[in-house]
Structure 1
Amino acid sequence: MASHIPRFTKAYAVREQAALMAKSRPHPLHVSNNEELRYRIPTSGEPSHIGSYTKGLPHDRNTGVLSNPDDFQSFIRAMDAGDQFSIRDVPLGPQNEQQAFQSGIAKGVSARAWESMAAGLTYDLEGPDAQSVTMPPAPALDSDELLTEVTELYWMALLRDVPFSEFNGDKNNDIQEAVDSLNSTPWVQIAKNGVVPTTLTDAERVRLRGPFTVDNVFRGTTRGDRDGPYLSQFMLIGNTGIGNGNRIEDGFIRYGAHRVDQRVRVAEMGRDFMTTWSAFVDVQNGADVRGREVYNNDVRYRFISTPRDLATYVHFDALYQAYLNACLILLGMRVPFDKGLPFQREDDIDHQQTFATFGAPHILSLVTEVATRALKAVRFQKFNVHRRLRPEAVGGLLHRYMQETTNDLYRGAKQLAENLDANLLDKVKRHNAKQNMKSDGDAPRANDLGECEDADEITLLPMAFPEGSPMHPSYGAGHATVAGACVTILKAFFDHGYELRMLDEDGETMIPFAFVPTADGSGLENRIGEYRNLTALTVEGELNKVCSNICIGRNWGGVHYFSDYRESIRVGEQVAIGLLEEQKLTYGENFSMTVPLFDGSVHRI
């Protein structure tokens, strides 16, 4: 007998059921690393906040720390209130002549505003609440873990122009030197020795890495990250397009009747920023020097070939861009869906095709939809919980400590400064000195000569972007949280164990592939035979890898740490799982999704 319950009553019941599911998720305790009030100004005893994110607040030009520690409390009140009036009351940028922008690159610019400070306080009608997911405390300023992370970031800055093709075997001595340097840090020694101290938290145990090799250094740690080339195929290949107009190795992705090229704009080789004290302080004071990077006009576009190319990609991407591309590539290759989804048999059997539900528009819209939820969740962690300082600020502390080792204002950097690889720091000094040399036209090469007493002793972290980091704290990472969420959606819909193959030149045999850019970056070539024990790349592995590529691409730019990436993808994963669980309540079909998670386990929806 047909039900006489009105449609609007049934619709309300479904919404109520989804709301109860969301309500049943426990809101966790959010815990920071307790550094905010730890470091003090010697003369006054007030907190210096050198272990916290303070970018955009007024900084003293000589010390590089806050001019007025009370400004930080105003910052916190605005974060917690989340209204536009409280945010407008926070001092932004230089407040007097002493703080004014002085570097050559910052002349005539205004201050940048903070980005979406209140987003973590908003509510959503679908998916986990922004505050129902959390992250463990970030590594502290004086921890062995941060020592490894900072060592890694300095090496990444020095190796930005080394082709990814050399991150394989013994092709580059500098990479091997970086491996040896990282392996000598106490944090990696723990993993190497295999005896994990009982004092480590569960989160720290998960983040332990090493020992490093040339084949795994600067890569992610999820399944598939270390299989085959450094770059995911989804960052390089395209699909065939209308009328088989392209080969996948042509690198064109079909967007309807249009096509989008996977090649990226090429930034000038060897050009880094924020390598003078004057430019560094200006950027900490919020100087808006975006758009002042320099590009190569001889080779304007190429496939991503170097870490600098990857940093350029993540400098301007639309956050979910790489995953939308991956989805279009998977759809174009007709990769099968998860076996638990309906309507996968022939039309004359199912009598229904997927489209609005369980089809391309459904998947593509979810990839973008989940990104907004992920951004709100990570904004709460950034602004309202952890407020972790960016890597560039750590470089500033290290630089000042090395110039004034007796000044207790910088004692929070003592552990790092005294244990960093001395040879690495010498390389950084030489690199920065080269950046700051005057050109033939007597104009600074990158920034200006700055105010340092000795231009050959600058240990600031060389940045790929003139403006350094975005105007929000480091932990968690927005790119990484969105990456975790979007990739989880794709792994839920597609057959994640499917092996990626293409037709050979004769159009007869399906062969595996692992494309890498040619030497000049103008094309792609299949080099799968160069990777030991690799028979084929899988959907899961390459989706995990594109996630890691984007996240670690931000590290190549100098704006994030490894732990930012590793913890944030798990937050994004939780957001995506929650969204899918609630959406499942709205469908009449009986179906399931089997989702491989970043920790190696499997979640079934």
Structure 2
Amino acid sequence: MNYRREQAKKVRYAAADMAYNRPHQRHVNNGDENKYRVTERMADGTFVKDLGPSLINSFTKGLEHGENGIVKNAEDFAAFIRAADSGDLELIRNLPLNENVAWLSPVAQNANGEGRPATIRAWESMASGLTHDLQGPDAQAVCIPPAPALESDELVSELAEIYWMALCRDIRFDQFSGNATIQAAIAHLNQLPWLANPAESGLHAYEQNRKRGYFAGGGPIAFDGNTIFRGNIKGDDIGFHISQFLYVGNKALGNEPNSFSEAQGLIRFGSCINDQRVRIASPGVDYMTTWEHWLDVQNGADLRGLEKYVPVENDNNIDREVGYRFIITPRDLATYVHYDALHQAYFNACLILLNNGIPFDPGVPFRNVDSIDAQTGFATFGGPHILNLVSEVATRALKAVRYQKFNVHRRARPEQIAGWVHRFKSGQGMDLEPFEKINAKLGADLLNRVRQHNAAQNPEGSPDSWLLPMPFVEGSPMHPSYGSGHATVAGACVTILKAFFDEGSILPFAYVPSPQGRNLIPDAANLGRYTVEGELNKLAANIAFGRNWAGVHWYSDQLESLRLGEQIALGILEEQKLQYGENFSMNVPLFDGTTIRI
């Protein structure tokens, strides 16, 4: 036993040394936080004095904002930073969370029914990036590059894309190619400088990597009906927009002839089942399209759970033939990522892969028949091992991305930047000078479409609105935009699955939803085209892009965060390799198109 104690100690020390010897990267932001200022001016516009940072490209949700949408007291934001950097519970509790605001919008004034106003939302896990872990890269050892600066062409392209996504939220994926609004989006996005000049010189390497197509090493692309609003990692452009892992089920328990299969979209959890169909949010219904609602949300009004859904025919919300369907529109995907259990899509994917007998990576033990190996994978190199690791890696990913959010970048959410677009268009441009050029680059056609869309949402007689239409009544979560928690978890979980399963295996199924999303129908044209790697990559991109469809994240948020999650997963796999007595290896395909061997 003494020998075993010494061996256990050596393994732990070896893992600690491995983590310690990894280069810890420098954390750099885009410098926008103190760049833009609030100024006092005379009636003729003459400058009088500087009143401090305006924070127009910084996350300020939950602090008190003035009628112009800008934080009333910049010192409140400084206190917010100090609390996030310290992690001290008392400092966080003493932050000036906006508790005494008078709500302006009807939805906030009656959020809890019978005239009871909304309560206040708290910031989410702001100190978790300071937590230490005993496995995998330290939360502060990995990083993402600076986010696009406010006045960059990249930011304009991301903002234009987010607006177009809001306008296209109810178009079925199978109708993208022939839809007039989609075609208008394609034409507009393709001519924006950031996307029209993919080989532009003078960019940082990370900026060049964010050019469409370069991330997968495939060269520049122009948007069309198949590539619009999709990621650009390997496999994401193959076949239907949505991954098979968000549609199919697996085989039922038992051998009855009428047992369900992947075509029913029912996933077996032990002896129970889970339906892949999602609740149908009311089509065409968006929120935060009035300034009053927008300002209440920035002031922290808790409006969660107030979104509207297609009625069902009973009181239990379980009529799957009426109130639920397979994902057929971007709004369906936004609904999925609104309430998912964060890593549930990858847990489901693992169950589907296991149930269908998809082979493991060739270097993993226990791949032969029982008569040869004389043991099977279970506690190690089997279902419980993989399912647990898919869940475990999610928490590591969240801590790493929280440090980027609260302690490094503090990037504004899209809804906030759209607020400045609206204010400038409304003739209230004080301290918003960059938006003269930003609005001009967005173009009159796009902004007029947004105005018309919002007019259909708002009460008759409401002022014109250029705010970002949101499918969530409460807007974004209560933490900064960059990076994306969903995308970081996606990158981590999918990397784990690609490590254990043979990434080149062809999936034995291909389905698309019926036009109304009630059932799945065979997709003969793509049968044999979907690989494990491609559809797992697509799954990660779907979940990441789903948050963009919801208006709560930017393109660069999801792109860089997938890579961040990948780093976390690789580190855990490397350290866990030290634990096992078996001689094994794993070939892990990366999002950039290369492969690493563990």
Kindly report which structure 2 residues correspond to 1:50-89, keeping only aligned pairs within 5 A, or say none: 50-61=56-67, 63-89=68-94
Match of 1:594 in 2: 587
Deviation per CA, 1:371-390, whole angstroms, max 9, x where unpaired?
00000000000000000000
1:518 correspondence with 2:504: no
What per-residue deviation string (whole Å, max 9, x for no partner) do you get for residues 416-446 of structure 1?
Answer: 11210211111100110110136xxxxxxxx
Q: Distance in 2 between the 1:413 and 1:75 partners?
A: 26
Give 4+ residue runs of structure 1 displaced > 3 Å after superposition: none
Q: Give the counterpart of 1:40 among 26, 37, 40.
A: 37
Q: Determine helix, strand or coil for the equivalent of 2:138.
A: coil
Q: Give 3-state SS (helix, strand or coil) of 1:585's partner.
A: helix
> Counterparts of 2:148 and 2:393 in 1: how far apart (Å)?
28
Equivalent positions of 1:30-429 (< 5 A) are 30-43=27-40, 44-45=49-50, 46-61=52-67, 63-95=68-100, 99-107=101-109, 108-167=117-176, 170-191=177-198, 195-197=199-201, 199-209=202-212, 210-244=221-255, 245-298=259-312, 299-404=322-427, 407-429=429-451
Give the gaps of 5 or more residues in structure 2. 41-48, 110-116, 213-220, 313-321
2 CA distance for matches of 1:430 and 1:111? 31
**Residue 527 (1) aligns with residue 523 (2):** yes
Shift of 1:410: 1.0
User: For residue 568 of structure 1, what is the amino acid of its counterpart?
Assistant: S
Instruction: Kindly provide the amino acid, as one letter, of the partner of residue 143 in structure 1.
Output: S
Match of 2:597 among 583, 598, 604: 604
| Residue in structure 2 matching 1:15, options 2, 12, 16 | 12
Give the equivalent residue in structure 2 for 1:449: none
Deviates more, 1:119-128 or 1:37-46: 37-46
Give the Cα–Cα distance (whole angstroms) in 2 for the partners of residues 131 and 465 of structure 1.
31
Give the 3-state SS of the residue equivalent to 2:230 in structure 1.
Answer: coil
Distance in 2, matches of 1:184 and 1:528, equals 35
Task: Answer yes or no: is the 8 Å Cα contact 2:507–2:528 preserved in 1.
Answer: no
Task: State the aligned residue count.
Answer: 562
Q: For residue 572 of structure 1, report the CA deviation from its aligned partner.
A: 0.2
CA distance in 2, matches of 1:239, 1:184: 44
What is the rounded CA distance, in whole Å, between the counterparts of 1:257 and 1:323 in structure 2? Answer: 19
- Displacement of 1:535: 4.4
Identity %: 55
Q: Is the 8 A contact 1:378 1:481 kept in 2?
A: yes
| 1:141/1:413 contact within 8 Å kept | no
Aligned to 1:509: none
Structure 1 residues not aligned, in runs of 5+? 439-453, 502-512
Give the AA of the match of 1:460: L
Q: Distance in 1 between matches of 2:546 and 2:154?
A: 20
SS in 2 for 1:243: coil
Q: Distance in 1 between matches of 2:35 and 2:288?
A: 27
Report the TM-score when normalising by structure 1: 0.91
How far apart, CA to CA, are the structure 1 residues paired with 2:251 and 2:463?
Answer: 53
Q: Distance in 1 between matches of 2:187 and 2:528?
A: 30
Give 3-state SS (helix, strand or coil) of 2:10's partner. helix
Q: Separation in 2 of the partners of 1:31 and 1:153?
A: 25
Match of 2:568? 575
Residue 42 of structure 1: SS of its match in structure 2?
A: strand
| SS state at 2:596 partner | strand
Superimposed CA distance per residue, residues 2-34 of structure 1 (whole angstroms, 9 cap, x where no aligned partner)? xx8521111011000000001001211100000
Q: Distance in 2 between matches of 1:456 and 1:206?
A: 41
Q: Which moved more, 1:490-499 or 1:296-305?
A: 296-305
Q: Following the alignment from structure 2 to structure 1, what is the Cα–Cα distance between the partners of residues 244 and 488?
A: 21
Structure 2 Cα separation of the partners of residues 577 and 150 of structure 1: 32
Instruction: Give the residue type in structure 2 aligned to 1:174.
Output: T
Which residue of structure 2 aligns with residue 444 of structure 1? none
Separation (CA, whole Å) in 2 of partners of 1:178 and 1:520 = 24
CA deviation string 1:322-366 (max 9, x = no partner): 000000000010000000001111111111111000000000000
Q: Distance in 1 between matches of 2:53 and 2:581?
A: 58
Question: Would you say the 8 A contact 1:228–1:528 is kept in 2?
Answer: no
The residue aligned with 1:441 is none
Letter in 2 for 1:379: R
Q: Which residue identity is paired with 1:518? A: S
TM-score, structure 2 normalization: 0.92
- Specify the code of the residue in structure 2 equivalent to 1:121: L
CA RMSD in angstroms, aligned pairs only = 1.2
> Bigger CA drift: 484-493 or 176-185?
176-185
Matched residue SS, 2:292? helix
